[in-house]
Amino acid sequence: MTLVVPGLGATEGEARIPASGLPGTRVVVTLPGHGSAQDAPEGYWDYGTIAADVRAVADEVGATRAVGVSLGAGALTRIAAEDPDRFERLALLLPAALDRPRGATATAAYARLAEAVDRAGTDGGRRLREVLAAEVPDGVSVGDHVERRAEALLRLGAALRELPDRAPLADAAALAEVGAEVLVVGATEDPLHPAEVAEAVAGAFPRAGLELLPSMAPMLTHRARMRALLTGWAE
């Protein structure tokens, strides 16, 4: 049983990407403000709150393995720190933070998205679509991805403003007792998910492997490699 925890603003299609090809039963979490779930209550966007929700789903379905992307990776990292033996295996894709808030570059990127969401009421989301289109590498065909992601983020302005100031952990040393085998996948050119964060996350777990992909959006450009890494991790 593998739990899959998507990133902030993931469309329903994006949310299922890490589950593709994994053996056994896979359960994809839908966080508040995503898909058909209700909007998040005020003050929801804190790693402790998100981790508690994710943990509740993991316990309900009996998940022994978990895959998290970005925000999902942060939530799973928090759970691992609080209960080092909860999971047998963890895959943390594109972690955005560990034990300190995001850096200036990532914070600025979140601020651009939040501003564009705030302007959507007057410009119909034009600026938001422009910002999201700039995140797509040249030559990559993404269909209606930008439109669907813009629709998702319109419900998540509070998260875009609040999460950059927060981190999953107060101290990465809390991960020293985690027994799970951990796969960490980062990117070398993604401003929202700096490679140094992926390196720090991998270094904080006793049994972790790290893969850095040369891309600004590896979920789009390196989908086959991601799948190979995850299927290898799951064996």
pLDDT of residue 154: 95
- Least reliable range by pLDDT among 76-80, 101-105, 172-176: 101-105
Share of the chain above pLDDT 90, in %: 85
pLDDT of residue 143: 87
What are the DSSP E strand ranges found in 121-200?
A: 181-187
For 131-177, what is each residue's pLDDT tens digit? 999 988 888 888 888 999 999 999 999 999 999 999 999 999 999 99
pLDDT of residue 139: 83
Q: pTM for this one?
A: 0.95
CA dihedral 76, 134, 114, 54 (to 10 degrees): -20
Nearest alpha-carbon partner for 6 in 90, 92, 83, 80: 92
For 205-214, what is each residue's pLDDT tens digit? 999 999 999 9
pLDDT of residue 51: 98
- Binned at pLDDT 50, 70 and 90, residue 72 comes out as very high
- Sorted by sequence, the CB contacts under 8 Å of residue 175 that are 6+ apart come out as 77, 80, 81, 84, 169, 204, 205, 206
Mean of the per-residue pLDDT values for the chain? 94
pLDDT of residue 12: 84
Residues 47, 167: Cα–Cα separation, whole Å: 7
pLDDT of residue 16: 87
* Total residue count of the chain as it appears in this document: 235
